[in-house]
Structure 1
Amino acid sequence: MLLDNHGRKINYLRLAVTDRCNLRCFYCMPAEGLDWLSRRELMTYEEMLRACSLLVKMGIEKIRITGGEPFVRKDIMQLLTALSKLDGLKELSLTTNGVLTAPHVAELKRIGVRSVNLSLDTLDANRFFAITRRDEFASVMETMEELLKHDMEVKINTVVMAGKNTQDIIPLVELTKNLPVSVRFIEEMPFNGEGHSYSGIVWDYVRIFDEIRQTFPDIQKVPDPQYSTSYNYSIPGHKGSVGIIAAYSRTFCGTCNRIRITPQGTLKNCLYDDGVLNIKDLMRLRISDTELEQTLRRAFNTREKDGWQAEQKRLENPNFHESMATIGG
């Protein structure tokens, strides 16, 4: 079992396989994209597999593959297949924007992926284009249909943004009436890749819930799973469920069980920290697994108490407004 310096269990890794994305969502990056990492700067699949294998032996039980967009990286199914075979790994899942995912759903199911988070900020094709700067709404909806057809657990991730998609909150909740999906509304975070100041959010988790309750007054709180980052709800008569993630308010830090590895190999103990070490660089120095494990354990014993403390420490050397694509969504 892995424990941090606050006694919290660490059993969940979010691994970003690329910083590249085929959408240009304005809340994540500028319209022209980012200065993409070169191939040399990225972790190789072999390095990712080595790091994951060691971390699973140390106590990681769940791995979620993120990006950027995972499916823009060539041969991603090869990595997923190899990870699915790791002895001791209990759950392999991924987060995708759904643009390129539909043709791979059957294979994902075959290798044991049971849950997919689908990023979808609106059910309106025009607003989708305005938010993502790409005309790919139909592809995303096709992916959702394929996932449901193959009985995959589908979680729809929606970033709530003032003046952009708040009118989609109720239609997305209504989606749960006839479909067995979990729609999770996420507070907007300051990782837009543009470097300008971020003064906080207008739509926090309290306001999002109040908006839903006005239309669905019989919405009911249900028990949150262990380590849940979302407040979870059900509506009588609905097949699906609703969640609200206080990603900016950071109300769930006290039970945080996750670590992140960015596409370039940076280990992050917290979404809001600046990274604690670079695993890729250590492996390229031909460090042994024993030495790497010792280094990782030391890093896990330096975790901040919460995201606010991590952010404050990071602001001492500000580079705060990077993109979620470079962090790992």
Structure 2
Amino acid sequence: MALFDPPGSLQGERLEDGFGRRFSYLRLSLTDRCNFRCTYCLPNGFVKQQGLPSELSSEEIYRAVAAFARLGLWKLRLTGGEPTVRHDFTEITRKLSEIEGIRRIAMTTNGYRLVQRASEWREAGVDAVNVSIDTLDPKAFASLTGHDRLADVVAGVDAALEAGFDTVKVNSVLLRDLERSGWDDILRFVETRNLSWRFIEFMRTNDNTAFHEQQATPGEIVRDRLLAAGWEPQSREIGAGPAVDYAHPAYRGRIGLIAPYSPGFCESCNRLRLSSRGRLHLCLFGTEGLDLRELLQRDDQQEELIARIVAAMPGKSRGHRLNEGDSGATPHLASIGG
């Protein structure tokens, strides 16, 4: 059995690129809209661009995911923007959970509705939830996101833990202004909660170049701090993302690190991305992507859709070029789901 084939997966053609990497993980952006105004992503809030096609319908989404499932992708992450601003989020999730071959559905959210909807989304088929919290300081949180809602978001994390998701994670972007801020608060947060708090190196996009130069902080600062305090790196699970988790016997939770600027980061890539408007992106920092939408209109287009996806794979590059200051065609992280 190949590394990324879970027990019981579909045994059809599997996606492989020109470097021998196999793909099990699809990040699906349901929308590029977001109701927060995070300084590193959408500092001016979501601005609708004229002339863009509409977001994928629930039927188009279902057909797309069904095709990827036939190609062996079994892990699905629903992202945005903020995916839950779609009024049909629960309906979409429930339908996707019924697709043969889809074994795990995760979601990434800013958490603004989580305290009210955690149980509903768990029942609809979401297995795992990631919540964005960059700081536990209420004033800094409000300044960073444009909303004084830290208490609601933290309550949403606790609601997710109570709802019985398989995993609950917190995503925190490493920013220079927050480098030393709240470290003890984060340690207390993970001490008693069964979750992973993951620090993510701030990635440059086409819209945040100046802010990135001011705020980018290397991940080794977190890594060295953890190792010095007795935290130990853990093995990655099959189908997992790029995070390295660290555990400590005195803490129930873990602390993770995602370091896209580190050497070899892309060598174990197992993910593809589909934008909210139907474009397949082989890399977060690649080209404008391949349009699949014309092949998402009818059920009888599945074979042609699968053939187009397979034909695109040789075009996947060995890795991104962030260290060269090249963010590809990505304007901001909300544009294709981060």
**TM-score after normalising by structure 2:** 0.87
- Equivalent of residue 79 in structure 1, options 74, 81, 92: 92
Distance of aligned partners of 1:98 and 1:189 in 2 relative to their CA distance in 1, 3 Å threshold: same
Match for 1:288: what amino acid?
Q
Structure 2 residue runs without a partner (length 5+): 1-13
Name the residue aligned to 1:122: 135
Shift of 1:314: 6.5
Matches of 2:65 and 2:268 in 1, distance apart?
22
The alignment status of 1:220 with 2:232, answered yes or no, reads yes
Name the residue aligned to 2:280: 267
SS across alignment from 1:86: coil
Q: Which runs of 4+ in 1 moved over 6 A?
A: 310-315
Shift of 1:151: 2.4
Name the residue aligned to 2:4: none
The alignment status of 1:295 with 2:313, answered yes or no, reads no
Name the residue aligned to 1:243: 256
Name the residue aligned to 2:10: none
Name the residue aligned to 2:5: none
Matches of 2:252 and 2:303 in 1, distance apart?
48
Distance of aligned partners of 1:220 and 1:195 in 2 relative to their CA distance in 1, 3 Å threshold: closer
Shift of 1:98: 0.3
Name the residue aligned to 1:205: 219
Worse-matched range after superposition: 262-271 or 195-204: 195-204
SS across alignment from 2:251: coil
CA contact (8 A) 1:170 1:212 kept: no
SS across alignment from 1:253: coil
Shift of 1:149: 1.2
Match for 1:325: what amino acid?
A
Distance of aligned partners of 1:254 and 1:273 in 2 relative to their CA distance in 1, 3 Å threshold: same
- Equivalent of residue 326 in structure 1, options 313, 330, 335: 335
The aligned length equals 323
Name the residue aligned to 1:43: 56
Match for 1:42: what amino acid?
E
SS across alignment from 1:267: strand
Name the residue aligned to 1:113: 126
Shift of 1:187: 0.3
**TM-score after normalising by structure 1:** 0.90
Shift of 1:92: 0.7
Distance of aligned partners of 1:170 and 1:34 in 2 relative to their CA distance in 1, 3 Å threshold: farther
CA contact (8 A) 2:31 2:82 kept: yes
Matches of 2:71 and 2:58 in 1, distance apart?
20
Distance of aligned partners of 1:32 and 1:183 in 2 relative to their CA distance in 1, 3 Å threshold: closer
CA contact (8 A) 1:131 1:164 kept: no
Structure 1 residue runs without a partner (length 5+): none
SS across alignment from 1:183: strand
Shift of 1:326: 0.8
Distance of aligned partners of 1:18 and 1:247 in 2 relative to their CA distance in 1, 3 Å threshold: same
Report matched runs for 1:92-107 at 5 Å. Answer: 92-107=105-120
Shift of 1:281: 3.8
Distance of aligned partners of 1:83 and 1:105 in 2 relative to their CA distance in 1, 3 Å threshold: same
Worse-matched range after superposition: 286-295 or 23-32: 286-295
Shift of 1:194: 4.7
